[in-house]
């Protein structure tokens, strides 16, 4: 879970000065690395890819914080970068694997990942989630695992709360059916 | 406020709620998050990533910060104003006396000789005439408006004077 002990206002104050930038960035990484890691991990599945995507996310934040305009929350802005990094990595991997991430190849990835220690039921659940369309999968993960309020997901994905609720309910029904079918 | 995820799943899919409680089986290496910062720093160095500080604190954030800064600035101004105000009426007497000419002081002491102790007058007599010690003004140069007297002599006189005397003097 997040280890957030510093406010975004304080972080931005530190990041706005050349003298305190490094201190601010270190605090920012410390505050958000775990939340972003789990968000990425559920998209890319393996720890190795998640680590790569998370580091790239913070590299982009490091380079691009000068362009942050405060139109959204700092975390929302980073979440978008992290999501793009994770999806981009999945697409690159899909090109090499000649396919997309679905229940079949996610199962293979999970079994090959030394950092998956789940049982068969957990494997089934992750496979079912991986089989969802991309946006539905994001909504499901944000709500199911991160317990993010719909209002925040709405800000993050630019989708209405009503549409998000419908998407989550639809995804939950599909996953349940998928698990019960086996 | 919408329901929390647990409540929502309870109604939507008790199976998924149960599965969620057992976790997803995904793990991370021991100390991964502790070492992450170091690894990130290494990647930034390897790639020679250049960073730029925020061009400015976003307006939305400024709105939250400015009131605090204004309070601090106002407090500072109040303290400085108070210090200045209270200092105005209490300038050290020595500084004020230095603005007097030797003639003024001599005239005052002569007029109030009865108020001084003999020792004080003796000290005054022993003090060389400040005006005589000053170099004679060179021809063509303006004569100073006030004669200079040794600071020590003035301090001695002031030290011996009572508050009432000083008040009367000024």
A78 pLDDT tier (thresholds 50, 70, 90)? very high
The two three-digit tokens of residue B99, written as one number: 């603005």
Q: Which residue of A has its CA nearest to B50?
A: A63
List the domain boundaries for chain A: 1-99, 101-182
Q: Which residue of B has its CA nearest to A110?
A: B26
Decide if A116 and B27 are in contact by the 8 Å CB cutoff. yes
According to the model, what pLDDT value does residue B52 have? 77
According to the model, what pLDDT value does residue B132 have? 44
pLDDT at A106 over 50: yes
According to the model, what pLDDT value does residue B89 have? 52
Cα separation, A72 vs A31, in Å, equals 17
The two three-digit tokens of residue A182, written as one number: 């086996």
Decide if B49 and A17 are in contact by the 8 Å CB cutoff. no
B119 pLDDT tier (thresholds 50, 70, 90)? low
Mean pLDDT lowest for which of A7-11, A32-36, A66-70, B161-165? B161-165
Q: Does domain A101-182 have CATH number 2.60.40.420?
A: no
Answer yes or no: are the C-beta atoms of A90 and A83 closer than 8 Å. no
The two three-digit tokens of residue A174, written as one number: 């599909």
pLDDT > 70 in chain A, percent: 93
Q: What CATH class is the domain A1-99?
A: mainly alpha
According to the model, what pLDDT value does residue A21 have? 93
Decide if A121 and B26 are in contact by the 8 Å CB cutoff. no
What average pLDDT does the structure give for chain A?
89
Tens of pLDDT along A121-143? 899 999 999 999 999 999 999 99
Identical fold for domains A1-99 and A101-182, yes or no, is no
The two three-digit tokens of residue B85, written as one number: 């105000």
According to the model, what pLDDT value does residue B130 have? 43
According to the model, what pLDDT value does residue A104 have? 56
How many CA atoms lie within 13 Å of B48's alpha carbon, on the beta-carbon side?
0
| Nearest-CB residue to A16 (from B9, B13, B53) | B53
According to the model, what pLDDT value does residue B143 have? 46
Helix axes A134-144, B5-12, angle to 10 degrees: 120
Does A120 contact B at CB distance below 8 Å?
no
What average pLDDT does the structure give for chain B?
71
Average pLDDT over residues B95-119: 65
């Amino acid at each position: 879970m997040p280890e957030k002990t510093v406010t975004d206002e304080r972080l931005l104050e530190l990041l706005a000065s050349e003298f305190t930038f490094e201190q601010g960035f270190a605090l920012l990484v410390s505050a958000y690395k775990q939340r972003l890691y789990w968000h990425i991990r559920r998209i890319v599945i393996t720890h190795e890819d998640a680590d790569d995507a998370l580091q790239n996310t913070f590299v982009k934040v490091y380079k691009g914080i000068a362009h942050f305009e405060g139109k959204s929350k700092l975390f929302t802005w980073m979440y978008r970068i992290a999501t793009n990094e994770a999806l981009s990595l999945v697409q690159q991997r899909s090109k090499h694997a000649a396919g997309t991430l679905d229940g079949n190849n996610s199962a293979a990835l999970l079994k090959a990942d030394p950092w998956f220690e789940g049982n068969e039921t957990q494997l089934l659940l992750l496979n079912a989630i991986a089989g969802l369309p991309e946006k539905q999968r994001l909504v499901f993960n944000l709500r199911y695992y991160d317990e993010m309020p719909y209002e925040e997901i709405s800000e993050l994905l630019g989708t209405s709360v009503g549409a998000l609720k419908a998407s989550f309910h639809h995804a939950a029904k599909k996953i349940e059916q998928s698990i019960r079918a086996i | 406020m919408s329901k929390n995820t647990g409540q929502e799943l309870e109604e939507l899919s008790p199976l998924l709620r149960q599965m969620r409680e057992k976790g997803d089986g995904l793990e991370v290496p021991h100390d991964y998050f502790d070492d992450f910062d170091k690894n990130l720093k290494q990647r930034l160095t390897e790639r020679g990533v250049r960073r730029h500080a925020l061009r400015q604190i976003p307006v939305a954030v400024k709105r939250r910060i400015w009131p605090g800064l204004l309070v601090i600035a106002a407090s500072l101004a109040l303290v400085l104003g108070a210090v200045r105000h209270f200092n105005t009426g209490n300038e050290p007497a020595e500084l004020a006396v230095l603005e007097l000419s030797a003639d003024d002081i001599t005239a005052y002491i002569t007029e109030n000789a009865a108020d001084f102790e003999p020792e004080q007058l003796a000290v005054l007599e022993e003090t060389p005439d400040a005006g005589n010690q000053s170099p004679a003004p060179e021809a063509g140069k303006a004569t100073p408006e006030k004669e200079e007297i040794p600071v020590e002599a003035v301090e001695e006189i002031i030290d011996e004077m009572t508050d009432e005397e000083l008040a009367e003097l000024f």
